[in-house]
Amino acid sequence: MNFYSKLQKSWKQSNSLVCVGLDPLLDKLPLHLKGHKKPLFEFIKSIVNLTAEHVCAFKPQIAYFSSQGAETALEETIAYIHEAFPHIPVILDAKRSDIAMTSEQYAIEAFDRYKADALTVVPFQGTDSMRPYLDRIDKGVILLCRTSNPSSADLQDLEVDGEPLYRIIAKKAVNEWNTNGNVSLVVGATQPNHLQEIRRLVGHMPILVPGIGPQGGQLESTVLAGMDSLGAGLIVSSSRAVLYASSEEDFAERALEVVLKIKNELNFHRQSFLKS
């Protein structure tokens, strides 16, 4: 099953557009876990177990593992999700980019070593740099298009031949790079007008949407701008609000409450959208 098929199945089974970002930090873990033999893995495992029924994807961010020398915890996390919840896709958020020979090694790292279902990729070095990822026809390639960080406009809004760069990326994604049907885009919730514009350009292509909550993105505007005509198409990511909902022993239960709140609000706006 390729990434898009797996994602479609997960959307349907969970009735959810929520993706939980897995960005663990040792110094933010509940105190009772800090003496555990595998603190990061146990922390994530507890949250995954309680939230899995209500999410469409999990998205570990590689820097939060590698910066702490915890690559083994990342391997264990992805392996656990695949074993316990095989219908849920795992997106490795690594934002890789380089010349083709190096990109091939990054593809091996993401898809063979870590066994991720999809990988975030920076498209700015062009087609040859992305080919090693695109050629993995069963894997998802999620390209940065219009990101949620405040200074994203510095480059992504620059005009090239009369069009902003993010629009050119979206057009190339749907018209040139998606020959294997495995391309998706990253578009931040902080830019709903751009999200709506990109949705119109790419049809039913999945869009990973970071930036809700602390970064300022709103759930209603995200759904109204980004959902496709079938009532799906979005992977709405929340990380810190879920992971650090509590620093006590009830951290996983509080994480579930946050996921359910986001899921229910998204579904309310989904239904309103579909009835309109």
Q: d(Cα 48, Cα 64) in Å, to the nearest integer?
A: 17
Contact 222/209 with Cβ under 8 angstroms?
yes
Contacts of 200 (CB under 8 A, 6+ apart): none
Could you give the strand order of the β-sheet that contains 234-238, starting from the edge strand earlier in sequence?
57-60, 18-22, 234-238, 207-209, 183-187, 140-146, 118-121, 91-96
Radius of gyration of the chain (CA): 18
pLDDT at 272: 84
Q: What residues are annotated to the active site?
A: 95
130: its two tokens: 């992305």
Q: Give the SS3 label for residue 76.
A: helix
Residue count (the chain): 276
pLDDT at 47: 98
In Å, the largest CA–CA distance within the chain is 57
Per-residue pLDDT tens digits for 199-209 = 999 999 999 99
Residue ranges of the chain whose pLDDT lies below 50? none
- The number of C-alpha atoms within 13 Å of 190 and in the hemisphere containing its C-beta is 14
pLDDT at 273: 79
List the domain boundaries for the chain.
Answer: 3-275
Contacts of 111 (CB under 8 A, 6+ apart): 119, 136, 139
Helix 127-134 vs helix 100-107: crossing angle, to nearest 10? 30
Q: d(Cα 59, Cα 118) in Å, to the nearest integer?
A: 9
Contact 175/167 with Cβ under 8 angstroms?
no
Q: CB neighbours (10 Å) of residue 105?
A: 12
Q: Which fold has domain 3-275?
A: TIM Barrel (3.20.20)
Contact 85/13 with Cβ under 8 angstroms?
no
**Cα dist from 83 to 3, 53, 103, 140, 251, whole Å:** 16, 14, 28, 19, 23
71: its two tokens: 């690559």
Only one residue has tokens 């929340």, namely 238
pLDDT at 211: 86
